[in-house]
Amino acid sequence: MGDAFSRRLAVVLLASLSFLAIPGLASQTPLRVELQLEPPHLDPTLTAASTVAEALHLNVFQGLTRIDRHGEVQAALATRWEVSEDGLVYRFALRSDVRFHHGRTFDSAVAAYSLRRLLEVENANPQRHLFQAIRHVEEVGTHELRIELAQPDALLPFRLALSAAVIVHPDTVHTNRSHPVGTGPYRFVDWERNEGIRLRAFEAYWGEPPAIREALFTFTPNRVELENLLSEGAIDLYPDASSLTAHMPLMQRADYVIQDGLSEGEVLLAMNHGRTLFQDLRVRRALSHAIDREALLTIYPSIDPPLIGSHFSPRHPAYVDLSQRYPYDPERARKLLAEAGFSGGTPIALTVPPTQYAERSSLYIASDLEAVGFEVELQRVSWGEWLRQVFTERDYDMTVIAHVEPMDIDIYARDDYYFNYHSETFRELWSRIEAQQDPAERHRLLAEAQRHLAEEAVHVFLFLKPQQAIRKSNLQGVWDDAPIPAVVLEELYWE
């Protein structure tokens, strides 16, 4: 009996080893991608939550244009475009071989519908302000779109590549929050709260079939649980692990690789300019001197992200290094506060979303603020609570947040934004930037815009958020940097 059992065991083991050796087996199992924050819903045209874009942009949904891994604008559902000499008319040639996941065709009528819907106030698109120059959208035949502008907008092709401008079909706009339907390489399968979002390769996709056939996006806000999952090898890709400590021992393992990169996320200690305290320039400048930003970078155990002095990415060619405009100087901070009539013990609430960078940096920030005389109350909230309380209702004093959308310095020209910052000077400057067709002159104006925000000390500008990804060593195609918030599954493959 013992010999027979041994022979059966050997057969089972041999079969198991053969099973593991089958080429491409890894690609037949779902790729597990871990994101920290579960999205409020699944329609990127209706929320500012970046986690929706991370999972669905360029996977389920696509736009007329797209931004590639180098931050460059490329064709997507539009094959090419041209602009008139006066900058007031764009013409887009559209693909003729595209179907939505529910079988309907993509054409100029659908594209025009999506752009008109984007502009409608009642739809509450979080990036609607970026497209206010659009005066008229016209279908030219079945596969050409003509966009007429009220004033030139040289940034339009770039803006059409953002997740808020993805193309949606009129049949599915009312159900995209729970069952998204797009034109991308992956179709939505299901979403169970606390279980994850499942995507599967779309068989009728107009482009090349992706190597990864199925993916599962999971969400684990608890840091300890997340680090345990990584140590068990249960996660294939975690694209934003920069502030984790668990990745240090993972660097010693052969089955994981750590990739160092940068996002487009400017991390801010943002102020609510609707509060009387922050309407005094001396107070705002004092806060910028009060924060030891170099010490703050210690939240990242193995990477040294760049400090910033304005709301602009160091990766952009128009970047101006203003990071030392307000050097750490608590004595100078106290002097400025005294000049503003500030008395010690003033209470201030710091609202902290559940992201790792915010939770860890808030402790340093609170200590620095208390050192110059504030009494800080840390208010830790869920992501949904942050979106409602801070972003929508503007009921906060200060918050720590990363603005991950690329080239979003335009938000300071908005009177309705959650900062409550109003500057006629900046609005006029931004209008000139949008209308400028010459890249060199536009870069000069962008430099002027950065200096304006720094001199105004609109916020305490902290650092550019790193993008340190943890991936299985045989998973290839992961972007080093994150020019947009997106995990582009179509470019991934198992080696």
**DSSP string covering 317-355, please?**
TT----TTSS---HHHHHHHHHHTT--TTEEEEEEE-S-
**Portion of the chain with pLDDT greater than 90, in percent:** 75
Instruction: List, as one string, the DSSP characters of 89-113.
Output: EEEEEE-SS-B-TTSPBP-HHHHHH
Average confidence (pLDDT) over 7-29: 40
Number of Cβ atoms within 10 Å of the Cβ of 463: 25
Of 412, 419, 390, which Cα lies nearest the Cα of 311? Answer: 412
Give the strands of the sheet with 134-139, arranged side by side: 78-83, 89-94, 144-149, 134-139
Question: In which band, very low, low, confident or very high, does the pLDDT at 405 lie, cut at 50, 70 and 90?
Answer: confident
Average confidence (pLDDT) over 50-70: 96
H or E stretch at 305: none
Whether the per-residue pLDDT at 110 is higher than 70: the answer is yes
Of 124, 113, 98, 123, which Cα lies nearest the Cα of 182? Answer: 98
The total number of residues written for the chain in this structure: 495
Both tokens of 21, joined, read 């050796």
> Which residues have a Cβ under 8 Å from the Cβ of 486 and sit 6 or more positions away?
53, 54, 57, 58, 59, 163
Average confidence (pLDDT) over 459-467: 95
- Of residues 3 and 34, more confidently modeled: 34
pLDDT digits (tens, 9 = 90+) for 176-235: 999 999 999 999 999 998 889 999 999 999 999 999 999 999 998 777 888 888 888 999
Where is average pLDDT lowest: 159-168, 261-270, 432-441? 432-441
What per-residue confidence (pLDDT) applies to 250? Answer: 66
**Portion of the chain with pLDDT greater than 70, in percent:** 92
- Of residues 398 and 9, more confidently modeled: 398
Average pLDDT, the chain: 90
H or E stretch at 149: strand 144-149
Of 58, 308, 298, which Cα lies nearest the Cα of 183? Answer: 58
- Are the beta carbons of 462 and 247 closer than 8 angstroms? no
Average confidence (pLDDT) over 284-298: 96
What per-residue confidence (pLDDT) applies to 243? Answer: 61
- Are the beta carbons of 134 and 149 closer than 8 angstroms? yes
What pTM, to 2 d.p., does this model score?
0.82
End-to-end CA distance of the chain: 43
Q: Give a three-class secondary structure readout of 375-442.
A: EEEEEECCHHHHHHHHHHCCCCCEEEEEECCCCCHHHHHCCCCCCCCCCHHHHHHHHHHHHCCCHHHH
Average confidence (pLDDT) over 305-311: 96
Whether the per-residue pLDDT at 245 is higher than 90: the answer is no
Place of tokens 């206010």: 132
Whether the per-residue pLDDT at 45 is higher than 90: the answer is yes
What per-residue confidence (pLDDT) applies to 387? Answer: 92
Cα 290 off chain centre by: 28
What values do phi and psi take at 99, rounded to 5? -125, 145
C-alpha to C-alpha distance for 147 and 139, rounded to whole angstroms: 9
